[in-house]
Structure 1
Amino acid sequence: MTIRDFIKEKRAYIVCHLLVAVMTILMLAALNPAGGKAFAAVIGTIYVVGALIPLAMEFKKKYAFYQTLVSSFDRLDRKNLIAEMVSEPDFYEGALLHDILKTSNKACLEEINQYKNKHDEYREYIEMWVHEIKTPISSSKLIAQNNRSEATDSMAEELDAIENYVEQALFYARSSAVEKDYLIKETSLEKPVLAAIKRNAQQLIGTGMSVATDDLEKTVYTDTKWLEFMLHQIILNSLKYANEQDAHLKFTAAERDNRCILAVTDNGLGIPANELPRIFDKGFTGTNGRLRGKSTGMGLYICRRLCEKLGIAISAESIPGSGTTLYLVFPKSSMTDII
């Protein structure tokens, strides 16, 4: 609140008192008391000063309150808590505003808690469903393995795809609360990389994609399970967009300053330059995804969310027609710094 705003708000009050002061002076001058016009002017001045003093006191109180309110609001990250940061003022309008803000904040928090509870219930249901659905999937895969034929081999491939989508649903549901399920510990990059390669071995062999690793004995602080899932998604992407001949995939680790970089490089279709900044966006499939018709646009999006939670930087570079490299950058620090 500025002095101009205050005067504008009180203009009716000021005009009325000025009119009364002028009329008082004119009446006293007309009555011609002892002292004449000077006496009338003194009386009028006293009246105006008496009217302005409470006005100035009111401005001082309101100015202090609104300045504190605005500055506190600007500093707050959670704007709905503004009523908790400002003391209740001793003038009516301010007290009313403070009470409304406090009541509004309480209602807002209650509604947020309701949605949070619903979200948690839904996430718990998804997790339960995923665990339940894994049993018939595993049973179906076992049946297919015990009754090998061209049809059952094809069925096993489709079951692997279903299992991947189910796992995506589980990790996506958990990605908003990773801190409840992760275990940060010192680990060699070789372990999760080899586990992800082994998991996808059948598809890699079926596609004819060769795999190479180099210098993976580097140590990082991360959650092995979540990292293995991310590597699994990256490998699946490489498989989706692999060349029909001489396809290969390479995992390389290197240390730079205070970080460790894991690079996953393929020689697939590559990504157009105008689409590269969007590959981590939710639901983005791109030109290659539409051509091959195998993309949901969720794999790399979930990877990015998990990386944000784990303190890992993820980026990509690509040359259309030559391949793509995805980088996972781990901070070389203690796990307490990551947490």
Structure 2
Amino acid sequence: MIKNFLIERRSWILLFIIQQLVIILVAYLDNAIPFKPILYIVFLSMIIFILFLVVRYHKETKFYKSLEEWENNLDLTSIIEPERPFEKIIEKSMTDQTERLKRLASENQLVLEMEKDELLAWIHEVKTPLTAMHLIIERIDDKPLKSQLTYEWLRIHLLLDQQLHHKRISFIENDLFIETINLKELIFKELKTLQSWCIRKGIGFDIQLEVTEVLSDAKWLAFIIRQLLSNSIKYSEAGDINIKSFEENDRAKLEIQDFGRGIDPKDLPRIFDKGFTSTTNHADNASTGMGLYLTKKAAEPLHIHIEVRSKIDAGTTFTLSFPKKNDFVNIAGM
């Protein structure tokens, strides 16, 4: 212990000794300095230094000695079974914990699956009376009342549709069927669904379709276009919404342009985030922040790239870039 103590501190012990030898050498060489008094001072310094080392040794080694005694008296065999090494206990504990977490995750996944199936079944059940309600509304002769009821029916229909696709989007890869789609038929079908809303707001459409066919999944592409059209109608006043398709860089593109309130530049990077509405229109309770989020999520497995251009009080333009046939090589159903 003493040896280790001195070895650990050898650098500053040597420094002290060299310092004392230098003082003696200077006093010996310089006749102006009395040699014997210097020698006496060095002697006293050495005595004090040695006493200091002794005191520090006892103080610093006392704690380490207690640790050694405690370590020597520690009987690990009383804690660990003789036939089961400590490593095996740790390994068994980790295995048990992993199995427990896996079992818990499986149970939670099963519960979520059941809740999803129940919600989807409920949505389908609600659609039945909703369809009957729409047929009843169609027979109403009072036009103002009919228009108002149709508008409220459409709001419920769009919210249910959004919720339905929200629950399905986690399994979208299992639900895709890529085929050639007639873009004109799909767009006009969606516009017919939104007709009552457009009439109520005095919104028309300027449609120019140079490209009439695209490769995609009909159901999910209809959902994407429905969300973009709903978004344009919601934030537009009376006027036209431009819809046009064209080919650029060997890719079919669909552009939906409105002239509504537009999007603040600082909000543009976040409009596809889940739950994001707006930083400038906090009083807008009509927005759920889910439409564009689901649009982006649905577009990714379809290899549809969405571009957005917008200017405050001037409108917003969404552009869909459709993939080539080769982009669907890894998608089942092609």
TM over 0.5: yes
Aligned to 2:147: 153
Offset of 1:337 from its aligned partner?
A: 3.5
Unaligned runs of 5+ in 2: 5-84
Alpha-carbon offset, residue 338 of structure 1: 4.1
Paired position in structure 2 for 1:307: 299
Q: Which residue of 2 aligns with 1:333?
A: 325
1:272 equivalent in alignment to 2:264:
yes
Q: Distance in 1 between matches of 2:159 and 2:122?
A: 13
Q: Deviations over 1:93-127 (max 9, x none)?
A: 66665555444433332222212111111111111
Match of 1:24 in 2: none
Greater Cα radius of gyration, structure 1 or 2: 2
* Separation (CA, whole Å) in 1 of partners of 2:147 and 2:173: 38
Which residue is equivalent to 2:166? 172
Aligned partners of 2:123, 2:193: CA distance in 1, in Å?
Answer: 19
**Alpha-carbon separation, structure 1, partners of 2:123 and 2:289:** 20
The one-letter code sitting in structure 2 at the alignment partner of 1:262 is: L
Is the alpha carbon distance of 1:148 and 1:287 closer, same or farther for their aligned partners in structure 2, counting shifts above 3 Å? farther
* Structure 1 spans left out of the alignment, 5+ residues: 1-14, 16-91
Taking a change above 3 Å as real, the CA distance of residues 338 and 252 of structure 1, as seen in their structure-2 partners, is farther
1:94 and 1:326 map into 2 onto residues whose CA distance is: 60
Name the counterpart of 1:317.
309
Distance across 1 between alignment mates of 2:191 and 2:115: 32
Structure 1 range deviating more: 317-326 or 103-112: 103-112
Structure 1 residue 218: Cα displacement: 4.6
Cα distance in 2 for partners of 1:183, 1:260 equals 19
CA contact (8 A) 2:211 2:252 kept: no
Q: 1:289 to 1:198 in 2, by over 3 A?
A: farther
Letter in 1 for 2:160: V
Does the aligned pair in 2 maintain the 1:144–1:152 contact within 8 Å? yes
Q: In the alignment, does 2:231 pair up with 1:237?
A: yes
Q: Give the paired residue count.
A: 248
CA distance in 1, matches of 2:177, 2:313: 39
Q: In structure 1, how many angstroms separate the alpha carbons of the residues matched to 2:210 and 2:310?
A: 22
**Cα distance 1:102–1:212, how it changes in 2: closer, same or farther (>3 A)?**
farther
Pair 1:126 & 2:119 matched: yes
Query: CA shift at 1:323, angstroms?
Result: 0.6
C-alpha distance 289-186 of structure 1, shift in aligned 2 (>3 A): farther
After superposing the two structures, state which structure 1 stretch, 198-207 or 251-260, moved more: 251-260
Aligned runs of 1:1-339 on 2, under 5 Å? 99-149=92-142, 150-244=144-238, 247-257=239-249, 259-287=251-279, 290-334=282-326, 335-339=328-332
Name the CA distance, whole Å, in 2 between partners of 1:99 and 1:311: 46
Overall identity of the aligned pairs, in %: 28
Indicate the SS of the match to 1:222.
strand
1:159, distance to aligned residue in structure 2 (A): 1.1
Which amino acid is 2:311 matched to? I
Q: Give the RMSD, CA atoms, in angstroms.
A: 2.5
- 1:58-104 per-residue CA deviation (whole Å, 9 max, x = no partner) reads xxxxxxxxxxxxxxxxxxxxxxxxxxxxxxxxxx6666655554444
Cα distance in 2 for residues equivalent to 1:262 and 1:94: 63
Distance (whole Å) between structure 1 residues aligned to residue 183 and residue 210 of structure 2 = 5
The CA distance in 2 between the partners of 1:297 and 1:158, in whole Å, is 20
CA displacement, residues 179-219 of structure 1 (integer Å, 9 cap, x when unaligned): 23332212233232222222212222332222122235353
Query: Retained in 1: the 8 A contact 2:202–2:237?
Result: no
SS in 2 for 1:310: coil
